[in-house]
Amino acid sequence: MENKQFKKLDTITELELFLKINEKNSGLAAPLVYLKSSKVFTLFSSGRMIGGFVLGEGSNLRTVELGAQKGEQNGLHCRLVQPKHQ
């Protein structure tokens, strides 16, 4: 059985690695300042980062708010929650 464990990231180096992996996998380039003001947890398996999540503590708590330009956030959110008409 593989050894899996959660780890809270604390150093800038760890946060930058998380950003790099997250951007590669999700296409979202979150700012480092957002991660520094949040709690970032990752899941490691056999020493390799295989997942993670961010608990935001500031006013931007949602990924949608980070990925959209100012003024476009409401429209993006509406498009995400409203079903498409068929």
Which is higher by pLDDT, 37 or 2? 37
Say whether pLDDT at 32 is over 70: yes
Q: What is the pLDDT of residue 11?
A: 95
Say whether pLDDT at 74 is over 50: yes
Q: Going by C-beta distance under 8 Å and a sequence separation of 6 or more, which residues neighbour residue 52?
A: 9, 18, 21, 22, 40, 41, 42, 43
What is the Cα–Cα distance from 48 to 36, expressed in whole angstroms?
22
Say whether pLDDT at 49 is over 50: yes
pTM (global) more than 0.85: no
